[in-house]
Structure 1
């Protein structure tokens, strides 16, 4: 009798969740992974699907997102024509990337920028603090992780000084990524000084009933006086102290400092998330009068879970298929979608040199096993895979033919494609591409290449475990 009842419950849960999955038209890999989990462990699988199976931002957020979209498009159409550049002057591959970016997001190609690549955390923080100390009107920051200690305390002190001299300081922090910081004296000091601190996507047990709690704000944006901006991979955390118990070494990051109209656009992108979180009006201040500071052409490419289309995946696919000679990628987490895996393999087969640089150790055992499952597929077609052994390589970069650079917060995994708010800088600038490629070469020098014969020789149990975890990778 008990067995029959449990079988009935098992069947009921499996059918109920299956019907829900089929009604949502999930990606094939995600749907199959959820079905497998529900069939194998129905109670756990059903509960997991309830909590993280769908991209639920909540009714209020989605209503705001629907109302906000036409406002953002109208704002984008009013970007001063003097800063907008036609993509027609780019070569064919770059033009296709630019047109897809504009068609997907609505943000045009912009000219007149000076780009500076900052390749280590200390130099990044020194430059950012100097710009905050020089701020006259506004400082706007949005980062996934804030972690007190080390040079972060110096940054907080600079923000306090700016607030006290009348500079408008707005700070967005992800609720989960910055959880410990919200209980810190540093945060209290910011608020006492008058800085406006916004907690993005708050985490609490009650919200878990209505929203998916692992939808996170993974962006890294700093904008000073709407003239200077930063974006890239670094959180507001000193790598000498951050996650030192994870056994992966110090995190290795890079950022780009941007002078030009893209700084104002980055602030507007961040203000759109402020509007989603707080319900405030989306009303970016007008752009400042900016002298032409350089010759770089760039596009800002935000992405997030509020839309049904994986725009960032489409951008990366277009870039890979546009490559003629070389693609070099760095990412801490590599769990690609099937289309991206196919694109990289196809590039290598048609003669494009493809180099993937990833850390030898990452701070997630499941991600490590899932990522390893793809290595043989890549090595077998001649793709070079390098394991960076000098810390957790956290820089997210793609350089195409030493001409085009995609640089920002996006990891090469489904979490970045589907679940996180992310932002990327697309730079159509050979000088910046060469600089970024040089940084990638420095990473290569600190890495060891994987060999196909050695990889084949790994224990059978590891191969089985990696393939099993990879089957569930759409859920990671």
Structure 2
């Protein structure tokens, strides 16, 4: 009897492995991604099966956010009274069309954008806008901690809920895994609607643990919004034990807020299965400037990877400079090649990274990509005063990309992210000045210095590079 059970188990197990291999093959993924999964499943089936269950499944064909609902919400934006503006500069029209085709990103005109380069000023600005809220407050954060910063925001939201303002909160279930449930339950008891995005529940939803919502969005009364790299936690305000926390966040006023509203309401609908609509969520927008922007919600759903494609296209078509700030550099081959090609072609390519990040393992993997960047002529800058968590891409003199996405596999392939593509020379000049100010606090690494690092370090970097897609 035991022998029969053993044979039965082996047959079922083999069929399961072969079935998963068949699924991987028929997904038509990049062969460089398909082959490693097949090798792991065949040579180490137990470990491979566990890893595939958590990290390997492809969500692109699933309908977590239905196209019909997304179109319905976007239609509210298009029907809102937003004044027409100047045409997108000719050099960026193909990029704008690409973003509209892949992510339904509508060009929005005349927004006023205020940058914040430290957590304290951003929090004070956010709390000030919350105090002025009259109808609704929408918040979405990857991390929402139960610490002094989180409790200050919670108390401000509770006060507004008691005044009759509709408060809706989305948080990421993995990003907030260390937060006590009582923190969110307390807000629910005060009438605040609080939900976890892609709730991780074993075993049904554990396969989605690798797909997280990394967006940071605030929309208040449809008139002002916030986007950027800062979460809600003390470290974004106070820094770390070993240095300051250098980050960038933005307040948007005007028509650009409607783009943030679409991104939030799409996620809200997907999470709660309830549709929020009405003209009060898309009020007529005042025109403050001559800029044009597109709010792009990128994610693992559907065929296209809008943020990766757009960044790669923008880099490939740069004519003068490409300046980047990112806490992690774990790029796809397409983006990595585009940056090296630009540098080889004489474009001023600068990559600013933290001298020390919040993860030693990610540091090692990131640094493995820098050898070829150096050889191509990319200028590598290591920010020294603390942890650089800012996400910024500057192309030439007229395009700036800001938002939540890092330059890494996770942001481009697995996470739900939101970026703003801003076509405006004046704003690009302002952000270039901030970049240059940060550069003065950086150590510019020379090739001679870089290639003298210990061989043991290089081996460690090469080893960790293998795991880059999982970081």
Q: Establish whether TM, by shorter chain, passes 0.5.
A: yes
The answer (yes or no) to whether the contact 1:172–1:200 under 8 Å persists in 2 is yes
Match of 1:157 among 152, 155, 158: 155
The answer (yes or no) to whether the contact 1:229–1:258 under 8 Å persists in 2 is yes
The answer (yes or no) to whether the contact 1:139–1:225 under 8 Å persists in 2 is yes
Which residue in the other structure is 1:358 paired with? 353
Partner Cα distance (2:52, 2:341) in 1: 34
Displacement, 1:345? 0.7
Is 2:263 the counterpart of 1:276? no
Question: What's the secondary structure of 1:339's corresponding residue?
Answer: helix
Question: What's the secondary structure of 2:235's corresponding residue?
Answer: coil
The answer (yes or no) to whether the contact 1:170–1:197 under 8 Å persists in 2 is yes
Displacement, 1:152? 3.0
Task: Report 1:276-425 matches (<5 A).
Answer: 276-281=270-275, 283=277, 285-286=279-280, 287-425=282-420
Which residue in the other structure is 1:50 paired with? 53
Match of 2:233 among 230, 237, 251: 237
Output the aligned Cα RMSD: 2.7
The answer (yes or no) to whether the contact 1:305–1:420 under 8 Å persists in 2 is yes
Displacement, 1:362? 2.2
Q: Given the two structures, how large is their TM-score scaled by the length of structure 2?
A: 0.90
Which residue in the other structure is 2:3 paired with? none
Cα distance change on mapping 1:215 and 1:195 into 2, 3 Å = same
Displacement, 1:228? 0.5
The answer (yes or no) to whether the contact 1:55–1:212 under 8 Å persists in 2 is no
Cα distance change on mapping 1:321 and 1:40 into 2, 3 Å = same
Match of 1:41 among 37, 44, 68: 44
Displacement, 1:468? 2.8
Displacement, 1:269? 1.4
Listed as ranges, the gaps of 5+ residues in structure 1 are none
Deviations 1:195-220 (A, max 9, x none): 111211112222345x3212111000
Partner Cα distance (1:328, 1:254) in 2: 15
Partner Cα distance (1:248, 1:207) in 2: 40
Displacement, 1:415? 0.8
Instruction: Give the count of matched residue pairs.
Output: 464
Displacement, 1:437? 1.4
Is 2:228 the counterpart of 1:227? no
Listed as ranges, the gaps of 5+ residues in structure 2 are 1-6
Displacement, 1:155? 1.9
Q: Given the two structures, how large is their TM-score scaled by the length of structure 1?
A: 0.90
Task: Report 1:27-176 matches (<5 A).
Answer: 27-38=30-41, 41-56=44-59, 62=63, 65-72=66-73, 74-80=75-81, 82-85=82-85, 89-176=87-174
Partner Cα distance (1:456, 1:34) in 2: 33
Partner Cα distance (1:424, 1:268) in 2: 13
The answer (yes or no) to whether the contact 2:119–2:237 under 8 Å persists in 1 is no
User: Mean alpha-carbon deviation: is it higher for 9-18 or for 327-336?
Assistant: 9-18
Displacement, 1:48? 0.4
Match of 2:29 among 26, 30, 40: 26
The answer (yes or no) to whether the contact 2:88–2:292 under 8 Å persists in 1 is no
Question: What's the secondary structure of 1:288's corresponding residue?
Answer: coil
User: Mean alpha-carbon deviation: is it higher for 366-375 or for 118-127?
Assistant: 366-375
Which residue in the other structure is 2:448 paired with? 453
The answer (yes or no) to whether the contact 2:326–2:352 under 8 Å persists in 1 is yes
The answer (yes or no) to whether the contact 2:170–2:195 under 8 Å persists in 1 is yes
Partner Cα distance (2:464, 2:41) in 1: 15
Partner Cα distance (1:422, 1:441) in 2: 26
